[in-house]
Amino acid sequence: MKRVILITIFFSIFYIGAVCQSNEGPVLKKELIGKYEGELKKGRAQGNGTAIGRDSYTGRFYKGLPEGEGIYTDSEGNKYKGSFHNGIKDGKGELILKGTVKDSVIVGYWASDKYIGKEKKDPYEISNQTGIVRSE
């Protein structure tokens, strides 16, 4: 009986450890986990590479995430060509949305994975005025 309990405990610990284990592969973006071919640094995708999982990406990686210029295709066939930062769209790019009849193309700038427009606009403008203000 003790033997059965010990074996059960051992396999339970092994199973929990395997299920709760963090991603130790070269790519950290969950949609891209699967097959990776490219440059590595300390076991992570870094430099030029291609990752294919549920989605696919070809371009620059940094510490396991898309960074810099690349092409990302999602599982629905939508394709983004442009800049990435920390694994998300950030900077200038072109998004081709797959349509049933015709594809749509969105060109412009993204910030934190959100489209901000055709032109990059700074959130504020700094101006400097100096002078003397007198009140009488």
DSSP result, 53-97: SSSEEEEEEETTEEEEEEEEE-TTS-EEEEEEETTEEEEEEEEEE
Express each pLDDT in 28-49 by its tens digit: 999 999 999 999 999 999 999 9
Q: Is the pLDDT of residue 136 over 70?
A: no
Express each pLDDT in 106-123 by its tens digit: 999 999 999 999 887 666
Tokens of 74: 């999602």
Q: Is the pLDDT of residue 75 over 80?
A: yes
Express each pLDDT in 76-135 by its tens digit: 999 999 999 999 999 999 999 998 788 899 999 999 999 999 887 666 666 666 666 666
Can you give the pTM of this predicted structure? 0.71
Higher pLDDT, 2 or 91: 91
